[in-house]
């Protein structure tokens, strides 16, 4: 149970609750298919069920929670088709972004990506850190591409992807394969070869999809 000193402030309460539940889902504390025990969670956070239900509505719009009338809510179970659809769209958006970055990003921007890549190389034994840095790298690519709508769409899609992404990185050999794909991508970016960078990202996304299934 959350100690009283750590209970939530009333400001934007449902948003705080949504973020706490989001992190529970992404960390695997709440797994796909798990039902949300509203009473238990409300007691843990020291809140009424009203802000909790508002938080669940937020997560439902993100695709992380599925709500059933008169039955409650559970963590969304992504089907193989769901994952294929998500990775297909991510591939379209992120290949376009990395092409743009290769051709137009500043040297300082590429240096940021190189630094993130080095952190990724060093993090390999730590799956959780590897996962976090991998996502940070991809999001930084989108930020450097400087298309806010593209970034927003990718962030939304990645929330659904993360329902199963942790498991895919734990598959034998996938972190090493993912890192090798990143090395090829970094080589293309360093050469400012947009076409090759896009091809590398496409291969990287395909590898992620295969590992997630």
Pairwise pLDDT comparison (198 vs 163), residue with the higher score: 198
Q: Look at domain 80-212 and name its CATH class.
A: mainly alpha
Judged against a pLDDT cut of 70, whether residue 151 lies above it is answered with yes
pLDDT at residue 1, rounded to an integer: 43
Q: What percent of the chain has pLDDT over 90?
A: 69
In angstroms, the Cα distances linking 132 to 5, 33, 48, 69, 124 are 28, 24, 32, 35, 11
How is the chain split into domains, by residue range?
A: 4-75, 80-212
Higher pLDDT, 36 or 127: 36
- The overall average pLDDT reported for the chain is 89
d(CA 150, CA 73): 29
**Confidence label for 123 from pLDDT (cuts 50, 70 and 90):** very high
pLDDT the model gives residue 69 = 86
Q: What confidence score (pLDDT) does residue 119 get? A: 96
Q: pLDDT higher for 189 or 32?
A: 189
Tell me phi and psi for residue 130, to 5 degrees.
-60, -45
Q: How confident is the model at residue 79 (pLDDT cuts 50, 70, 90)?
A: confident
Question: What is the model's pLDDT at position 159?
Answer: 86
Domain 4-75 has CATH 1.10.10.10: yes
User: Residue 11: what pLDDT?
Assistant: 53
| Range from 16-30, 47-61, 140-154, 170-184 carrying the lowest mean pLDDT | 170-184
Asked if residue 10 has pLDDT above 70, the reply is no
């Amino acid at each position: 149970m959350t100690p009283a000193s750590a209970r939530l402030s009333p400001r934007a309460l449902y948003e705080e609750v949504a973020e706490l539940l989001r992190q529970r889902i992404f960390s695997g504390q709440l797994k796909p298919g798990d039902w949300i025990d509203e009473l238990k969670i409300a007691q843990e956070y020291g809140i009424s069920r009203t802000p909790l239900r508002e938080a669940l509505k937020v997560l439902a719009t993100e695709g992380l929670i599925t709500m059933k009338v008169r039955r409650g809510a559970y963590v969304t179970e992504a089907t193989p088709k769901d994952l294929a659809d998500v990775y297909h769209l991510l591939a379209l958006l992120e290949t376009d972004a990395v092409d743009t970055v290769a051709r137009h990003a500043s040297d300082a921007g590429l240096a940021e990506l190189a630094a993130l890549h080095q952190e990724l190389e060093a993090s390999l034994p730590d799956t959780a850190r590897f996962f976090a840095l991998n996502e940070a790298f991809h999001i930084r690519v989108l930020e450097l591409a400087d298309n806010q709508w593209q970034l927003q769409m990718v962030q939304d899609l990645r929330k659904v992807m993360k329902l199963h992404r942790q498991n895919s990185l734990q598959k034998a050999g996938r972190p090493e394969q993912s890192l090798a794909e990143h090395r090829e991508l970094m080589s293309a970016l360093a050469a400012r070869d947009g076409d090759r960078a896009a091809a590398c990202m496409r291969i990287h996304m395909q590898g992620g999809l295969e590992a997630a299934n």
